[in-house]
């Protein structure tokens, strides 16, 4: 592509938006078999905001994140991270997978899990230096796990493991944080600790995108929502986009009136 001087043509808001976006998907289609799990999805994540990806079970939320990260190869579609291909931007992305998908059969200490987040920063010899250990400990401190550094990860509770994975993500010094159901199966104290860390990242100008299953906390936790049910349903600020209509569009008849009532939606 040729490089041109800026003209009024380049001020196309959609294009500018996409080039600035921490994560922009266009026409993303992913299939495991015959039927696509994600179909022709466009998404444009806003910088410095917390965005919830919501939709029913099997809606393609995890698939969308994995395709965005290049872990799954889409049938069609493109991902750009800050306007560039994902391969060139990996160092700017931290990913916390759905906890159930991680199996800790072999013994691994908590501190070593966090140090994994530092590997790209270790240099050619990959040597862990005292400064790296200090940094990893600092990340454990931020999630309230500083006393568990030498414990085996497999011996921790679900909530404790989730905090450690968040500490590993923090060690990466990323700009974009992608988390798949970070609050699933964690205790209330862990949920509070995680949301506080995510908000502090957001307040420092980082961008957070999380698959989120608890509709009752969307308004309290997030700035923006992205609703999906294989196809994109809606995307935008919580105040205008998290509505009875969009939820019905995403969940079909699966949300009963009392649940809607409890959410106090417009
Ligand atoms: P969500 O995260 O929204 O619950 P997923 O992205 O995990 O949904 O799954 C979307 C659809 O793709 C579901 O129908 C699911 O059964 C299917 N699916 C997910 N992973 C696989 C896989 N590895 N192989 C085959 N089908 C899959
Ligand atoms: Mg999922």
- Give the tens place of pLDDT for each residue, 24-65: 999 999 999 989 999 999 999 999 999 999 999 999 999 999
User: 127-147: per-residue pLDDT in tens?
Assistant: 888 999 999 999 999 999 999
Q: ∠176-136-80 over CA atoms, to 5°? A: 15
- Ligand closest to the CA atom of residue 99: 2
Contact 96, 179 (CB under 8 A): yes
Q: Which residues pair with 199 in a beta bridge?
A: none
Ligand 1 pocket check for 66: Cβ under 6 Å: no
Ligand 1 nearest atom to the CA of residue 59, by list position: 3
Is the pLDDT at 8 greater than 90, yes or no? Answer: no
Q: Nearest residue CA, atom 14 of ligand 1? A: 58
What strands lie across the sheet with 207-211, from one edge to the other?
Answer: 93-96, 176-180, 207-211, 50-54, 224-229, 231-237
Average pLDDT, the chain: 89
Interval between CA 58 and ligand 1 midpoint (Å): 5
CA distances (Å), 65 to each of 1, 30, 46, 60, 243, in order? Answer: 28, 11, 16, 9, 23
User: 65-94: per-residue pLDDT in tens?
Assistant: 999 999 999 999 999 999 999 999 999 999
57: helix, coil or strand?
coil
Interval between CA 208 and ligand 2 midpoint (Å): 17
Interval between CA 62 and ligand 1 midpoint (Å): 7
Does CATH place domain 3-252 in 3.40.50.300?
yes
Element (H, E) at 24: strand 24-31
Ligand 1 pocket check for 212: Cβ under 6 Å: no
- Ligand closest to the CA atom of residue 37: 1
Ligand 1 pocket check for 100: Cβ under 6 Å: no
Cα–Cα distance for residue pair 68/55, rounded to 1 Å: 17
Interval between CA 8 and ligand 2 midpoint (Å): 42
Contact 255, 247 (CB under 8 A): yes
Is the pLDDT at 259 greater than 50, yes or no? Answer: yes
Contact 33, 8 (CB under 8 A): no
Ligand 1 pocket check for 62: Cβ under 6 Å: yes
Ligand 1 pocket check for 224: Cβ under 6 Å: no
The DSSP symbol for 11 reads: G
User: 94-122: per-residue pLDDT in tens?
Assistant: 999 987 656 667 788 999 999 999 987 77
User: 152-180: per-residue pLDDT in tens?
Assistant: 998 999 999 999 999 999 999 999 999 99
User: 205-227: per-residue pLDDT in tens?
Assistant: 999 999 999 999 999 999 999 99
Interval between CA 213 and ligand 2 midpoint (Å): 9
Ligand 1 nearest atom to the CA of residue 181, by list position: 2
Q: How confident is the model at residue 4 (pLDDT cuts 50, 70, 90)?
A: very low
Ligand 1 pocket check for 60: Cβ under 6 Å: yes
Which residue bears the tokens 């949920």?
191
User: 176-206: per-residue pLDDT in tens?
Assistant: 999 999 999 899 999 999 999 999 999 999 9
Ligand 1 pocket check for 106: Cβ under 6 Å: no
What's the longest Cα–Cα distance across the chain?
59
Cα–Cα distance for residue pair 179/156, rounded to 1 Å: 20
The DSSP symbol for 33 reads: S
């Amino acid at each position: 592509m040729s490089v041109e001087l800026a003209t009024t043509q380049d001020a196309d808001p959609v294009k500018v938006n996409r080039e600035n976006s921490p994560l922009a998907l266009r026409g993303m289609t992913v299939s495991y078999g015959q039927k696509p799990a994600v179909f022709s999805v466009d998404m444009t994540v806003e910088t410095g905001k917390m965005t919830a990806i919501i939709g029913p079970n099997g809606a393609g939320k995890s698939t969308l994140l994995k395709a965005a990260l290049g872990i799954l190869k889409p049938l069609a579609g493109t991902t750009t991270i800050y306007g560039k291909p994902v391969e060139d931007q990996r160092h700017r992305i931290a990913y916390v997978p759905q906890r159930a998908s991680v199996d800790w059969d072999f013994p691994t200490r908590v501190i070593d899990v966090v140090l994994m987040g530092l590997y790209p920063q270790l240099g050619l010899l990959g040597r862990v230096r005292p400064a790296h250990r200090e940094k990893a400990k600092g990340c454990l401190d931020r999630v309230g796990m500083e006393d568990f550094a030498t414990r085996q990860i497999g011996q921790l509770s679900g909530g404790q493991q989730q905090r450690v994975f968040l500490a590993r993500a923090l060690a990466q010094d990323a700009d974009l944080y992608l988390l798949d159901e970070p609050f699933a199966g964690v205790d209330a104290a862990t949920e509070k600790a995680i949301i506080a860390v995510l908000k502090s990242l957001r307040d420092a100008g980082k961008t957070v995108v999380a698959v989120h299953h608890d509709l009752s906390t969307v308004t309290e936790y997030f700035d923006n929502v992205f609703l999906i049910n294989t196809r994109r349903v809606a995307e935008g600020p919580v105040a205008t986009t998290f509505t009875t209509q969009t939820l019905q569009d995403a969940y079909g008849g699966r949300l009963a009136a009392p649940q809607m009532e409890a959410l106090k939606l417009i």
